[in-house]
Amino acid sequence: MRPTAWLDVAAAGGLTAGLLAATAAPPDRLQGELQRLMYVHVPSAWLAYLAFAVTLVGSAGWLLRRRERWDRLAGASAEIGVFFTGLTLVTGSIWAKPVWGVWWTWDPRLVTTALLFFIYLGYLALRRSIVDPQARATRAAVLGAVAFVQVPIVHLSVVWWRTLHQPPTVIRPGGPSMDGDMLAALLVNLIAFTLVYLALLRRRIALARLGEEAERHLSGQEQPLAGEAITGPTLEGVHDDG
């Protein structure tokens, strides 16, 4: 087995353990089985935070060192972060419908999370809109560094404003307020999702490296001009009867 394949195996094993832990944990006293959505919703939000923090590190690395590996890291992590932010919004809406009675409400946590999603979608759009690799990396790095400001705003929104979301239950003064079995299941899933993130990040960086090599190969070849393959009509075989 390739050394890098161990990460894929660990991610698969972590997801299996997380599923077993989520099903073995007791149901919530008020929400019943619906509460099990927490074991996907909360890890997805954590992965979004982590992914965008890594994008921040990669952006700073590019601005300071100007090495391609930092730009690869930033772009790859942002793509994964957007996916998990979207998953956070979807699972949150599914959870909100039976609990709050609506799929969506203009709650501060929901609004700031949606804004986070669209900010990083804009980051990915910026990366695709610039052809020059150096300019693309630099402009994306600036946006990647500035955009991270939204992450603490999302996290602290339940503290700063009145919100339907419950206040922090794990990282809080006095220790976690969650049931011990539920907390253990949640931690298992946090670890499992982190392993999945690392496996996806490694593969996305490898794909980005291949894309850069192909781009350099194509740029080193003389490209045909537009319309070069089109030739004008010839008079061969045409006889003048005049």
CA 73 to CA 212: how far, in whole Å? 13
The per-residue pLDDT for 180 is 76
CA 141 to CA 65: how far, in whole Å? 12
Task: Classify residue 102 by its DSSP letter.
Answer: S
- What's the whole-number average pLDDT of the chain? 86
Tell me if 178 sits within 8 A of 171, measured CB to CB: no
Q: How many helices (H) and strands (E) are present in the chain, helices listed first?
A: 7, 0
Break the chain down into helix, strand, coil percent, rounded to 5: 70, 0, 25
Residue 40 burial (10 A CB sphere; 0-12, 13-18, 19+):
buried
pLDDT band at residue 131 using 50, 70 and 90 as cut-offs: confident
> Domains of the chain (ranges plus CATH)?
7-166+184-209 (1.20.120)
pLDDT band at residue 27 using 50, 70 and 90 as cut-offs: confident
